[in-house]
Amino acid sequence: MTDAAVRASMTKSRRRMLRPSIVISVAAVLAAALVGLVLIFALGVSVSEAIAAFIDGTLGTPYAIAASVNRSIAFALVGIGFVIANRANLVNVGGEGQIAVGGIAATAVALYGHVDGLPAALSFVIPLLAAVLAGMLWGSIAGILKIKAGTNEVISTLLLSFIAVWLLYWCVQSPQLLRKPMTSSATLPESLEIPEAAKLPLLTGDYSFPVHIGLPVTIVIAIVAGIVLVKTVFGLQLRAVGFNPVAAGRAGISYARMVMVSLATAGALGGLAGGFMLLGEQYVLKDGFSSGYGFDGLVAGLLARGSVVGVIAAALLFGFLRSGGINMEMVAGVPTALVMVIQGLIVVTLAGAAFFMGRRA
C-alpha cells in the first residue's frame, strides 16, 4: 500500500471508531460520577451540600476557576505526552516522576542560576527550559532501557517515578541541596521562594484570577501535537512503529529512534508541567508537590483514546474534578479519595468497554 492508501484506510477506520468511542467515554464518566454520588450518599453527607461545595470549588470564584485551569494545564501536558508515546504503542506511566524532576530543575535554576538579572522573559524561560530538559532526561532513561535491554517501559517509568519522588524529598530535606537555610530547628523542609522575576506572568496580571502563561503555551503545544500526529510523516511513522515494529523497520523507520523521540517528548512535556506548577503557582518546592498529578495526566491520556482534543477535554474535566473534590473535603467533609475512586472506575470501565467496540485484538 502506498502512504496515501495507508492514511486513507486509517482515517476510515478512525472515523468508524470515533463516535462509539466518544459515546462510551462520556458514558463511563457519567456512570463513574453517578457511583461517586451514591458513595457521597452512603458516607452520610448531604448530597446537595456536597454538590454545592463541589461547584463552589470549581466555578464559585474567579480564583477557583483559575486554580482549576492551572491544574488542567499540568494534566493536559502529561496527557499529550502519554498520547504521543502511545502512538508508538508505548505506555508512559512516569508522569509523576517527570513532573517532580521538572519542578526540582526549575527551582534549582530559578534560585541558584543567577536568572534574576537577565533581560525580561529569560529569567523564567531558562528555568522552564531546565525543567523540560530534566523531564526529557527522565523520559529518555526509559527509552534507552527499552532499546538496549528490552525493558518494559511501564515498569521502568513507574520505578523512575518512585526514584524521582524520593529525589524530591531528598532535595527539600537536605540543606546542601535545595532546602532553605536552617535558621531554627523549626525551619520547614522546603526551598526558598523563587525570585519575583522567575515567576510566570499571569494572563490578567491580577492575583484574583491567577491563570499563568502556561495556558497559551499548552494550547499551542496541543495544536502542534495534534497536527504532527495526524498530518505529518513523523506521526505516521510513530503509528507504523506502534502497529508493527518489524514491518516499520522494513519500511526504513527506525524503531529505536521512534522509541527515544516519543519517550523523550513525553518526559519533556511532563517536565514542563512540573516547571509550570513551580514557577506559575507554587513558587516554593515542597515534598510531594507532584503527588497525584502524574496519574491524573495519565488517566486523561487514556480517556482521550489517542485524540489530543480528547486530552484537553479530559484534562479540564479532571482539573475541575480535583478542585471540586478538594473543596468538598474542606467544606462538606467528603474525602478527596472519592475522586480517585471515580477515576479508577473510569479507567477500568473504558478498558473493559474496548471489547464491545470491536477493536483490533
Partner 1 sequence: MTWELFAVFVGSSLRLAVPLLLAGTGELVSERAGVLNMSIEGMMLTGAFAAAVGAWATGSPVLGLLICVVAVFPVALLQAVLSNTLRANQIVTGIGINILVLGGTTLAYREIFGARSREQIPGLEKWSPPLLGDIPVFGQAVFQQVWLLYAGLAIIALTALVLRYSSIGIVIHAAGAEPRAVDKSGISVTWVRYLGVLFAGFMSALAGAFLSIGDIHTFTEGMTRGAGYLAIAAVIFGKWTLSGTVLACLLFGAATALQFQLPTLGVDVPNALLIMLPYLLALLAVGGLAGRQTAPRALGEPYLRR
Contact positions toward partner 1, by CB under 8 A? 39, 43, 91, 93, 145, 148-152, 154-156, 158-160, 162-163, 166-167, 169-170, 173-174, 295, 298-299, 302, 335, 337-348, 350-352, 354-355, 361
Q: What one-character DSSP code corresponds to residue 204?
A: S
Q: Shortest gap between Cβ of 169 and partner 1 (angstroms)?
A: 5
Q: Shortest gap between Cβ of 90 and partner 1 (angstroms)?
A: 11
Q: Shortest gap between Cβ of 114 and partner 1 (angstroms)?
A: 27
Q: Shortest gap between Cβ of 121 and partner 1 (angstroms)?
A: 34
Alpha carbon distance 127, 125 (integer Å): 6
For residue 262, how many other CB atoms are within 10 A of its CB?
A: 27
205: left (phi over 0), alpha (psi -120 to 50) or beta: left
Output 107 or 156, the one with its CB closest to partner 1: 156
Output 4 or 148, the one with its CB closest to partner 1: 148
For residue 80, how many other CB atoms are within 10 A of its CB?
A: 30
Output 53 or 126, the one with its CB closest to partner 1: 53
Q: Shortest gap between Cβ of 359 and partner 1 (angstroms)?
A: 9
What DSSP string runs through 278-340?
A: IIIII-S-BTTTTTTHHHHHHHHHHHHTT-HHHHHHHHHHHHHHHHHHHHIIIII---THHHH
Output 96 or 281, the one with its CB closest to partner 1: 96
Output 279 or 326, the one with its CB closest to partner 1: 326
- Dihedrals phi, psi of 190, to nearest 5 degrees: -155, 170
Residue type (1 letter), 49: E
Q: Shortest gap between Cβ of 7 and partner 1 (angstroms)?
A: 25
Output 164 or 269, the one with its CB closest to partner 1: 164
Q: Shortest gap between Cβ of 227 and partner 1 (angstroms)?
A: 26
Q: Shortest gap between Cβ of 306 and partner 1 (angstroms)?
A: 13
In the chain, count H helices and then E strands: 13, 0
**Which residues in 136-173 are b (16+ Cβ under 10 Å) and which e?**
bbbbbbbbbbbbeeebebeebbbbbbebbbebbeebbe
Output 136 or 160, the one with its CB closest to partner 1: 160
Q: Shortest gap between Cβ of 310 and partner 1 (angstroms)?
A: 15
- Contacts of residue 90, defined as CB under 8 A and 6 or more positions apart, other chains included, come to 146, 153, 242, 259, 262, 263
Q: Integer distance in angstroms from the first to the last C-alpha of the chain?
A: 22
Half-sphere exposure of 228 (CA within 13 A, CB side): 16
Output 61 or 174, the one with its CB closest to partner 1: 174
| Torsion sign, CA atoms 29, 32, 37, 43 | negative
Give the 3-state secondary structure of residue 211.
coil
Output 95 or 127, the one with its CB closest to partner 1: 95
Grid coordinates standing for 186?
523549626
Q: Shortest gap between Cβ of 340 and partner 1 (angstroms)?
A: 3
Output 82 or 124, the one with its CB closest to partner 1: 82
- Dihedrals phi, psi of 155, to nearest 5 degrees: -65, -45
